[in-house]
Structure 1
Amino acid sequence: MTALDLPAATGTTTLRIGPYEVDPPVVLAPMAGITNVAFRRLCREYGAGLYVCEMITSRALVERHPKTLEMITFDDDERPRSMQLYGVDPVTMGQAVRMIVDEDLADHVDMNFGCPVPKVTRKGGGSALPYKRQLFREIVRAAVTAAEPAGVPVTVKFRIGIDDEHITYLDAGRIAEEEGAKAVALHGRTASQRYSGTADWSAIRTLKEHVTSIPVLGNGDIFSADDALRMVAETGCDGVVVGRGCLGRPWLFRDLQAAFSGEPVPDGPHLGEVARVLRRHAELLADHMGEEKGLRDLRKHMSQYLRGFPVGSDLRQGFGLVSSLAELDDLLAQLDPDVPFPADAEGPRGRQGSAGKVVLPEGWLDDPDDATVPTGAEIDSSGG
């Protein structure tokens, strides 16, 4: 493949988020159970950018839940250290960000208002919350107020809205900008779409036209380097946020670095190279979690790594049950290293599911200016 002509495709300058230069303008989206320190390191070995850890719940952080504290792990050379926070209460959010600042837990805070999961929206959290404009404003203000004295930038991620009848992204972008956020990111889907259908990149373009003093990042349906450049060209966004597109293919960040530098994008790896990457992922997980737990965690990545390759069902089953590095080595040795990267491995990856009605608290849509904190929405565990 060849890179698109970058200047014509983007017309942008280097992305800055507060004091940090992000070059190339690429952000790894937080993904529950995926973007732990091992996966982030694997991706960082392929290219620069901003790599965000799994979502951390503000209340769980303030209450120092052991699982949450374990998740706040960064490599020594991982800079800036980027943490995503979920919260629905301005007071708790402010406390969490002050804790991050006082204890030097991270260099950048990203706030999650994009989660469409029913267990979150039914309590008024995630992508349901920006509908409550005043509450949204107070949460963003609390985070920025706590972070600003230390120079820690706060960014905000959200969706187009709850559904086609309840669009919130322009208000959310305006409020985040007014309250001092250093960037905003828009996933071009509503909560009702979840991950189905096609992301609406035109909304990213519209947001960019309305939010002019801080960077606007685009998210949704970036599965290749060309997708990223096309999004920038079509929307004028200042950078891209990559989620499902890197599942089982951390070399996507190598491709993105090449594309944004105006260099040719490498061909997809042969099966032998994929096997090497899979082995490296296993090593990093074993170092992070211990071998047995790390290899169990790796199982969920197997189908993505092997997608499209001619690997027999028995061998695939073996990969799905692997429990040690020795077992993994035996399985990898049975792969043909010369098999080229298959064309049908391109395109959408990860969960897609189907659209559905968003479950909301009773009366949630009655008053968008009601700043009452939703009852029971502060989940006490992290990771989504």
Structure 2
Amino acid sequence: MSLRGTTGGGGDTFLGGRVAHSYSWMNASTPSVLRIGDRTFDSNLFLSPIAGFYDLPFRLSIRPLGGLGLAYTELVNPKGLLRQTARSMQIVESCPEDRPWAVQLYGTEEDGLDIGAKWAADHGAALVDINMGCPVPKVAGKGGGSGLLRSCPNAVRLAEKVVNASPVPVTVKTRLGWEMGNLVTPRLVQDLEDVGVAALTIHGRYGEQRFKGSVDLEGIRAVAQAARTIPVIGNGDIRSADDAKRMIEVTGCAGVMIGRWAMADNWIFRDTRSLLETGDVPPPPTRAQRVHKMIDHFEHARRHLGDRRAVVNFRKYMTWYGKQISPCPTLRRGIPLCRDVDEWYGLVHAFLAEIQAERESPEALGRRAGVEASPASLG
């Protein structure tokens, strides 16, 4: 499937009923390839910077599944980087297997985002992203995140300062505006282009909405239409490959950034890329395969966090993994109460044994035999 639709005369492309110019970041031969500034990514599917969840162990666990073009760190304040606080250094931890990656910075002009951008580039970041979208009070209430949308001139001035300091392309992740219904980002994206921002990711809600309501695809579309030279990446409410495909088709965005649902379905990037490029989604993984991927994540956490922290840290992931492997009441109840690695593995291995027993039950064997002997399977 072509990312940007069919090509018209004069090098234009049709985007959901409108005609747009062929932009420099498009690649007609491989439509899922996306260029941002002087960087090229082999997929237009990005992992969102979800605070508290998308750390190095998680990123390492999903990259081998395929389809992921770029992963972002959790948001980090440059002051913590410069002081090298333990939490800040954990957020930006990476390794050669975690490539390509981007560091997302948040704060105001007084927080030294320009210095933070230099630090990120020096430590291997492919991009530096400015968070202009976080709606939580401790960020937005201090003028950072989506609080910057209350004063777009300040947001543009901050972006220009970071662009001028950064050796790598600078991008922005933001929302439609702050106040519900006050759509400011179509104008903002043009102002950001003018100061050198290389791409913009737009979450289809307003700041004061936080995470309530549904994503406004028409709002995302308005931002994508307003951009003159840079790619716009859509974000919000993507829970399947079909959701991602629909966002691209309806809004004309250059790609999508997937957030929390990557925890509920680790294979969503693989499936989305396949759907966009071939029109088909591969067969889903089995429950056992999903459990083994959870184990892989846990082992990465043990290596990078240590056994005790890995056990404690994994408690918050169980709700999301439970969506992949449900029904799993023993895991949902037991993992958050685990005290050590042996207890964790005891629960998980017992659950794998339950899955195997279900597969070998007379009822399951009968169902599989019926499928194998069905006229469709024989023909």
In structure 2, the CA distance between the partners of 1:130 and 1:313, relative to structure 1 (3 Å rule), is same
Match in the other structure for 1:139: 158
- For 1:18, the equivalent position in structure 2 comes to 37
Q: 2:11 — aligned with what?
A: none
Q: Residues 284-295 of structure 1: matches in 2 within 5 Å? A: 284-295=300-311
Counterpart position of 1:259 = 275
Question: Residue 117 of structure 2 aligns with which residue?
Answer: 97
Please give the alpha-carbon distance, in whole angstroms, between the structure 2 residues aligned to 1:109 and 1:243: 18
Q: 1:310 to 1:154 in 2, by over 3 A?
A: closer
Aligned residue in 1 for 2:15: none
Matched, 1:337 2:337: no
Q: Within 1, Cα distance between the matches of 2:3 and 2:227?
A: 22
- Percent identical residues: 32
Specify whether residues 163 and 91 from structure 1 end up closer, same or farther in structure 2 by C-alpha distance, changes over 3 A only.
closer
Normalising by the residue count of structure 2, what TM-score does the alignment of the two structures yield?
0.81
Amino acid at match of 1:100: A
Q: How does 1:338-353 map to 2 (within 5 A)?
A: none
Q: Structure 1 residues 310, 226: closer, same or farther in 2, change over 3 A? A: closer
- Paired amino acid for 1:7: S
Deviation at 1:52, TM superposition (A): 0.6
Q: Distance in 2 between matches of 1:67 and 1:40?
A: 17
Q: Distance in 1 between matches of 2:4 and 2:200?
A: 21
Matches within 5 A, 1:11-90: 13=31, 14-47=33-66, 48-89=68-109
Q: CA deviation at 1:314?
A: 4.4
Over 3 Å counting, the alpha-carbon distance change for 1:44 and 1:114 in structure 2 is same
Which gives a bigger RCO, structure 1 or 2 (Cα 8 Å, sep 6+)?
1
Indicate how the Cα distance of structure 1 residues 320 and 302 shifts in structure 2: closer, same or farther if over 3 A, else same: same
- 158-167 vs 232-241, greater mean Cα deviation: 158-167
**1:159 equivalent in structure 2:** 175
Report the CA distance shift for 1:240/1:8 in structure 2 as closer, same or farther (over 3 A).
closer
Distance 1:8 1:16 in 2: 13
Match of 2:266 among 250, 257, 260: 250
Letter of the 1:288 counterpart: H
Aligned partner of 1:254: which letter? R
Q: Which runs of 5+ in 2 are unaligned?
A: 7-25, 360-379
Q: Structure 1, residues 192-234: CA drift from partner, whole Å, max 9, x if none?
A: 2211211001111111111120101000111111111111111
Change (3 A) 1:105 1:61: farther
What is the SS of the residue equivalent to 2:51?
coil
Mean alpha-carbon deviation: is it higher for 263-272 or for 26-35? 263-272
1:314-335 CA-partner distances (Å, limit 9, x unpaired): 4421122223332222212232
Corresponding residue for 1:206?
A: 222
Equivalent residue pairs, number: 331
Give the alignment of 1:173-188 within 5 angstroms: 173-188=189-204
Could you say which structure has the larger radius of gyration?
A: 2
Residue 81 of structure 1 deviates from its aligned partner by 2.8
Q: Secondary structure at the match of 2:323?
A: coil
Q: Does the 8 A contact of 2:3 with 2:254 survive in 1?
A: no
* Distance in 2 separating the partners of 1:210 and 1:40: 32
Could you tell me how far 1:8 is from its partner in structure 2? Answer: 7.8
Which of 230-239 and 54-63 deviates more? 54-63
CA distance in 1, matches of 2:36, 2:3: 23
Q: CA distance change for structure 1 residues 62 and 310 in 2, over 3 Å: closer, same or farther?
A: closer
Confirm whether residue 130 of structure 1 aligns to residue 149 of structure 2. Answer: yes
Cα gap change, 1:250 to 1:313, in 2 (>3 Å): closer
Paired residues of 1:205 and 1:237 also in contact (CA < 8 A): yes
**C-alpha distance in structure 1 between counterparts of 2:320 and 2:307, whole Å:** 21
Aligned in 2, Cα 1:8/1:27: closer, same or farther, shift over 3 Å? Answer: closer
TM-aligned CA distance change 1:68 to 1:315, over 3 Å: closer
User: Hey, what does 1:195 align to over in structure 2?
Assistant: 211
The answer to whether the 8 A contact 2:79-2:111 is kept is: no
Structure 1 stretch 131-140 or stretch 261-270: which is displaced more? 261-270
- Give 1:120's aligned residue: 139
AA paired with 1:337? I
Q: Measure the CA separation in 2 of the matches of 1:81 and 1:308.
A: 26
Q: Name the SS for the 1:106 alignment partner.
A: coil
CA deviation string 1:295-352 (max 9, x = no partner):
2111111121122755464442112222333222221223233679xxxxxxxxxxxx
Tell me the C-alpha RMSD between the 2 structures. 2.1
What is the deviation of 1:7?
A: 2.6
Does the C-alpha gap of structure 1 residues 66 and 234 become closer, same or farther in structure 2, counting only changes over 3 Å? same
